[in-house]
């Protein structure tokens, strides 16, 4: 059963303290970096025994004594991106590649770190394994996830939909009550926020809470119910908005990592991790129309995650969490996200026009059921009528015609748009949505048994 991550009305007695926590990823002892400057330790309470690197290698290489955290600190200070570096050697390579750019500042930082090392080395033997982990030791992949969360949490908001209701029977005064909760994320520096349509569907007033507990009134800019998307605008900024980086959903691969940030059950700033577990899914949206190319993930997505971002391992948006497959209402590891390419197109149109502007081909179509006897085993969409003054009319497309004897003659059958095969009316409608008004689209049509290529402008 498909369930939307609709807002939960669960009333929390204690405010979430998730802002002060750090999320960690997954690692095993065998995944730990082979960093000679980091001590080896067991899972017991024994004191850590430092592992020393060979002296000749350190003398020859000025970077040999640098810990992972040292390299990251240098790269961060120089605003050098290292999010694609997963091992210490990769970090060192990134540092070496940019050594010329850093110039004297690199030498200064290396000297500063070398002066600190004797004190650090002397203190390591007095730390327990637990203390060492708390102060220094995160595995590389753990630190990466922590950094990803910290970098993106300012872009995620907790959305509360409010309704007014009478305070008492026969009373003229009203009070607001939560109609639901969900998640969203900041799209641009103007304060536009993207969320699911079903999160704010019943709202009379909308509040958005940022990661720093700033609460903003939010107004509805526009919505696209067929895609379960809505765009809000935050009012009264006290601080600069940090937009989320938007990636592409086209090049995704099953198995790559995913991260979801949101407010499941009202617990804001919650991070869950998983993988892309499926691609090209079709799910029925809240209006009954199919949403195509949906991203499937096993990252835990629960009620309240709706409208929140699904990120790749670079922290870029690849989808908007919208629903889960569940018989109980809780996550069973099958969640669905609207692909970021669809989100980008819809959101940009809403911000620009206040609504989604759908390009039109200028035809009406024969329903799939009625067309089946005519098409037979073939695929395609039969044009019923070509509307005058449209791109289809300009291109000379043909609809159904009536012969002198009253017999209906089939005109053109659309079989493909570009390389995309068209099998039914839903395929055609979905394909045209990917274009903009004014685009010239290449159609393949079957006319009198022959396949013809024709270009049609969208108006």
**Minimum mean pLDDT among 33-42, 125-134, 211-220, 431-440: which range?**
33-42
β-pair type (381-386, 257-262): unpaired
For residue 238, pLDDT over 70 is answered with no
Based on the residue annotation, tell me whether 228 is a catalytic residue of this protein.
Answer: yes
Q: What is the mean pLDDT of the chain?
A: 78
Query: Average pLDDT, stretch 123-151?
Result: 66
Based on the residue annotation, tell me whether 306 is a catalytic residue of this protein.
Answer: yes
The residue ranking higher by pLDDT, 107 or 206, is 206
Catalytic pick from 37, 306, 331, 340?
306
Catalytic pick from 183, 198, 226, 268?
198
What are the pLDDT digits (tens) for 409-459? Answer: 888 999 999 888 998 888 888 888 888 888 999 999 999 888 999 999 998
For residue 105, pLDDT over 50 is answered with yes
Catalytic pick from 35, 226, 228, 293?
228
**What is the per-residue pLDDT for 123?**
37
Distance CA 295, CA 279 (A): 5
Sorted by where each starts, the structural domains of the chain and their CATH numbers stand as 39-137 (no CATH), 154-234 (2.40.10.10), 257-353 (2.40.10.10), 363-457 (2.30.42.10)
**What is the per-residue pLDDT for 48?**
38
Query: Average pLDDT, stretch 108-114?
Result: 66
CA atoms in the 13 A half-sphere facing the CB of 309:
30
Based on the residue annotation, tell me whether 35 is a catalytic residue of this protein.
Answer: no
Are the beta carbons of 53 and 64 closer than 8 angstroms?
A: yes
Coil, strand or helix: which one is 220? strand
Torsion angle, alpha carbons of 207, 212, 213, 215, to 10: -30
- Structure-token pair, residue 5: 């991550």
Distance CA 173, CA 142 (A): 52
């Amino acid at each position: 059963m498909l369930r939307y991550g609709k807002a939960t009305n669960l009333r929390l007695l204690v405010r979430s303290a998730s802002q002060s926590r750090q999320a960690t990823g997954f690692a095993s002892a065998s995944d730990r970096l082979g960093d000679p400057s980091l001590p080896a330790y067991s899972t017991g309470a024994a004191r850590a025994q430092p592992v020393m690197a060979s002296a000749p290698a350190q003398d020859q290489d000025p970077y040999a004594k640098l810990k992972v955290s040292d390299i990251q600190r240098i790269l961060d200070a120089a605003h050098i991106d290292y999010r694609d570096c997963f091992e210490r050697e990769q970090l060192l390579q990134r540092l070496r590649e940019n050594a010329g750019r850093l110039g004297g500042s690199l030498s200064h930082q290396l000297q500063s770190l070398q002066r600190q090392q004797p004190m650090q080395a002397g203190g390591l033997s007095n730390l327990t394994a637990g203390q060492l982990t708390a102060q220094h030791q995160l595995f590389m992949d753990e630190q990466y996830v922590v950094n990803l969360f910290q970098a993106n949490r300012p872009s995620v908001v907790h959305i509360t939909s409010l309704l007014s209701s009478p305070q008492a029977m026969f009373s003229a005064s009203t009070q607001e009550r939560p109609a639901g909760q969900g998640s969203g994320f900041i799209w641009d520096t103007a304060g536009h926020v993207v969320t699911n349509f079903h999160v704010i569907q019943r709202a009379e007033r909308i509040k958005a809470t940022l990661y720093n507990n700033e609460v903003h009134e939010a107004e509805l800019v526009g919505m696209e119910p067929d895609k379960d998307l809505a765009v809000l605008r935050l009012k009264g900024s006290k601080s600069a908005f940090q937009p989320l980086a938007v990636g592409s959903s086209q090049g995704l691969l099953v198995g790559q990592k995913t991260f979801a940030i949101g407010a499941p059950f009202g617990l804001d700033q919650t991070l869950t991790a998983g993988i892309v577990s499926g691609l090209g899914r079709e799910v029925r949206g809240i209006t009954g129309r199919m949403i195509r190319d949906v991203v499937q993930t096993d990252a835990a997505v629960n009620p309240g995650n709706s409208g929140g971002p699904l990120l790749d391992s670079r922290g870029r948006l690849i989808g908007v969490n919208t629903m889960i497959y569940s018989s109980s209402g809780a996550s069973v590891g099958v969640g669905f996200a609207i692909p970021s390419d669809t989100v980008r197109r819809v959101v940009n149109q809403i911000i620009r026009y206040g609504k989604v502007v759908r390009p039109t081909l200028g035809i009406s179509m024969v329903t799939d059921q009625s067309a089946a006897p005519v098409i037979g085993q073939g695929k395609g969409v039969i044009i019923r009528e070509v509307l005058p003054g449209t791109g289809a009319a300009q291109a000379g497309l043909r609809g159904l015609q009536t012969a002198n004897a009253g017999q209906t003659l089939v005109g053109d059958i659309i079989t493909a748009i570009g390389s995309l095969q068209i099998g039914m009316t839903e395929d055609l409608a979905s394909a045209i949505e990917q274009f903009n008004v004014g685009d010239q689209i290449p159609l393949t049509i079957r006319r009198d048994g022959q396949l013809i290529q024709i270009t049609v402008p969208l108006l």
